[in-house]
């Protein structure tokens, strides 16, 4: 054997000697995005596959070892998942996947911020399906834009076959950034995913029902992932309502992603009256500002709308710029495009091209851009995670003549009430069975006394009629649970006094 041949053979074998036989890497979340990450991979061969993890740039010199928490064979792949917890917010971690045959390349992930003061960027879209060239182009573009995460609202593949899923995950590697950062995916189920278990086996989603919620940036934004393929009424809608009641009000922004659009913007898709009936009023009642939809393979963005059937309404919605929900979508990550031929009176823009949406979420605004993939040329990739920056060369679809729109957060009445009440000393209810509330009315009026907790829930209410005069109203408080409350006195439904009280 010649020396030249030996050298060539050695060079050929280096990848097999130096790197473990793993592939198709992905990142997800099951719990708090600020302090956790799930790393998934396919094990091709080898034994004792595990993650070696280290904070990038930190003082710690040792590597943490984390063995898989879940192993499942699906779509002819052995999928392994390491559920990493106890991480630092807004921090970059480097890692390798090691097994008996060696190490993967060095990769990175970045945890989400834990504070609402730090901007967060998302890319959102769906329907990659069977046009691989377009899918690859959009995947690569997403990586160049360096978002915190990708919200993917279903229909990853066409027939949900093993070969298609393997190709999809191969193509997903193009979302990896130039310095090998894995961008987490928040996955929803579409009609081309044949079961919820597909998302469990490929993405280790946190719910076997394929509906779940994740909060980002402390109290900045809560993202609701819903399942259009599960029964809409019943458990899913009860869960959504309960979570909005319990958690939604604590966040500045509330957005949802799901697959089937409530009111499609192509005539080739049917209306989803069940979703409208179940979710429309909930979105409005709980001030959900944005809903990301897919399935139709067109581009659209609406004006803020709310459920309504009166003057100016169409298909069960009416424009409400002050307190409505903006619907955006409807899928175009590589699936065959359809004609955008079903605009409504409340449609803001409509078109048909390959695209995804880009959101920058801040406390004082949610910036929306629709990225027109076919027109993005000579992109200069961002070198680090975007906190609102965009690469040079990005082409944004014009929305009313502008390359973006910005939603403003609602004025929180609770914040106003607290600000008003904090002008006075807090009333301490400790060891008190009752308190006396002073007020004065100049005419006969109906008085209402309310105690509202910090979750905006009415805990106690009293009502009675009073003649004009000065009053020192005695109110029992022994039955109030321990906590902090806004006490408000209304005279004929007009507030005349507010205080903070605490038990």
Regarding whether 94 and 41 lie in a shared domain, the answer is yes
pLDDT confidence of residue 9: 45
Alpha helices, H only, 173-271: 196-203, 235-246
For 18, the enclosing helix (H) or strand (E) is helix 3-18
pLDDT one-digit tens code per residue, 317-353: 999 998 999 999 999 999 999 999 999 999 999 999 9
| 82-106 per-position pLDDT tens digit | 999 999 999 999 999 999 999 999 9
CATH number at residue 280: 3.60.21.10
The predicted model gives 460-464 an average pLDDT of 92
Q: 358 and 145 in contact (C-beta within 8 Å)? A: yes
What is the model's pTM?
0.82
Gap between the Cα atoms of 270 and 52, Å rounded: 49
Question: Taking 60 as the threshold, does the pLDDT of residue 5 lie above it?
Answer: no
Asked which of 410, 427, 445 is the last residue of a domain, the reply is 410
pLDDT per residue as tens digits for the range 404-432:
999 999 766 666 677 777 788 888 888 88
**SS3 track for 224-236:** EECCCCCCCCCHH
Contact 53, 85 (CB under 8 A): no
Closest by alpha carbon to 186, among 225, 222, 156?
Answer: 225
Q: What percent of the chain has pLDDT over 70?
A: 94
Residue position matching structure tokens 């903006």: 326
Backbone phi, psi, residue 163, to 5°: -65, -40
Across the range 25-49, mean pLDDT stands at 96
Average pLDDT of 254-266? 98
410, 425, 456 - which closes a domain: 410
Flag whether 115 is in a domain: no
pLDDT in tens, 136-164: 999 999 999 999 999 999 999 999 999 99
Domain of residue 95, CATH code = 2.60.40.10
Residue 52 confidence (pLDDT): 97
Residue 275 lies in a domain: yes
282 with 420, same domain: the answer is: no
The answer to the question of residue 10 being in a domain is: no
Question: Domain with 451 in it: what CATH number?
Answer: 2.60.40.2550
Q: Which domain holds residue 376?
A: 120-410
The domain total for the chain is: 3
Give yes or no for a contact between 326 and 304, defined as CB atoms under 8 angstroms apart: yes
Among 121, 28, 126, 26, which residue's Cα sits nearest to residue 356?
126
Task: Give the CA-trace dihedral at 344, 350, 355, 356, to 10 degrees.
Answer: -40
Do residue 240 and residue 197 come from a single domain? yes
Same domain, yes or no, for 319 and 228? yes
**1 in a structural domain:** no
Checking if the pLDDT of 402 tops 50, the result is: yes
**Termini Cα distance of the chain:** 87
* Number of Cβ atoms within 10 Å of the Cβ of 433: 9
| Assigned domain for 285 exists | yes
Quick check: is 9 in a domain?
no
When comparing pLDDT for 218 and 413, which is higher?
218
Same structural domain, 344 and 450: no
20 confidence band (pLDDT: 50, 70, 90): low
How many CB atoms neighbour CB 497 within 10 A? 17
**117-131, 216-230, 399-413: range with lowest mean pLDDT:** 399-413
How far is it, in rounded angstroms, from Cα 291 to Cα 325? 7
Confidence band of 502 (pLDDT split at 50, 70, 90): confident
Structure tokens at 140: 């690569």
Same domain, 129 and 216: yes
- Report helix, strand or coil for 150: strand
Mean pLDDT of 281-296: 96
Both 215 and 242 in one domain: the answer is: yes
| pLDDT(18) > 70 | no
Among residues 76, 92, 110, the one where a domain terminates is 110
């Amino acid at each position: 054997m010649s020396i030249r041949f030996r050298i060539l053979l050695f060079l050929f074998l280096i990848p097999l000697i130096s790197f473990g036989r793993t592939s198709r890497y992905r990142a997800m979340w099951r719990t708090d995005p600020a302090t956790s990450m799930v790393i998934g991979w396919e094990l091709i061969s080898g034994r004792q596959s595990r993650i070696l993890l280290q904070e990038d740039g930190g003082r710690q010199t040792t590597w943490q070892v984390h063995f898989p928490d879940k192993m499942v064979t699906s779509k002819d792949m052995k999928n392994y998942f390491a559920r990493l917890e106890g991480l630092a917010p807004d921090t970059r971690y480097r890692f390798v996947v090691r097994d008996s045959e060696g190490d993967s390349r060095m990769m990175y992930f970045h945890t989400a911020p834990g504070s609402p003061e730090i901007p967060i960027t998302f890319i959102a879209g769906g329907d990659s399906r069977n046009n691989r060239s377009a899918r690859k182009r959009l995947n690569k573009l997403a990586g160049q834009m360096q978002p915190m995460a990708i919200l993917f609202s279903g229909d990853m593949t066409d027939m949900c076959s093993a070969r298609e899923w393997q190709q999809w995950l191969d193509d997903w590697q193009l979302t990896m950034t130039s310095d090998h950062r894995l961008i987490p995916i928040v996955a929803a189920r579409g009609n081309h995913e044949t079961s919820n278990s597909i998302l469990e086996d490929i993405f280790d989603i946190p719910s076997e029902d394929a509906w779940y919620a994740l909060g980002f940036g402390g109290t900045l934004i809560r993202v609701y992932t819903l399942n259009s393929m599960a029964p809409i009424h019943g458990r899913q809608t009860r869960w959504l309502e309960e979570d909005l009641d319990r958690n939604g009000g604590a966040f500045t922004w509330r957005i949802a992603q799901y697959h089937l659009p409530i009111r499609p913007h192509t005539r080739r898709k049917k209306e989803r009256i069940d979703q409208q009936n179940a979710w429309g009023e909930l979105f409005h009642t709980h001030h959900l500002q944005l809903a990301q939809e897919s399935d139709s393979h067109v581009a659209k963005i609406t004006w803020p709308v709310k459920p309504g059937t009166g003057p100016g309404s169409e298909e069960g919605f009416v424009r409400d710029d002050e307190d409505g929900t903006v619907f955006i979508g409807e899928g175009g990550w590589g699936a065959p495009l359809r004609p955008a031929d079903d605009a409504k009176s409340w449609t803001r823009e409509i078109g048909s091209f390959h695209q995804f949406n880009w959101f920058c979420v801040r406390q004082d605004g949610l910036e929306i851009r629709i990225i027109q993939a076919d027109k993005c040329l000579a992109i200069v990739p961002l070198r680090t995670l975007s906190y609102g920056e965009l690469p040079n060369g990005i082409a944004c679809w014009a929305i009313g003549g502008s390359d973006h729109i910005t939603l403003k957060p609602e004025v929180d009445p609770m914040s106003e009430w607290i600000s008003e009440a904090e002008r006075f000393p807090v009333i301490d209810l400790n060891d008190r069975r009752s308190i006396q509330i002073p007020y004065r009315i100049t005419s006969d009026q109906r008085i209402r006394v309310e105690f509202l907790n910090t979750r905006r829930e009415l805990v106690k209410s009293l009502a009675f009629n009073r003649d004009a005069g000065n009053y020192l109203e005695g109110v029992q408080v022994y039955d109030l649970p321990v906590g902090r409350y806004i006490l408000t006195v209304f005279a004929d439904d007009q507030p005349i006094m507010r205080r903070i009280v605490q038990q």
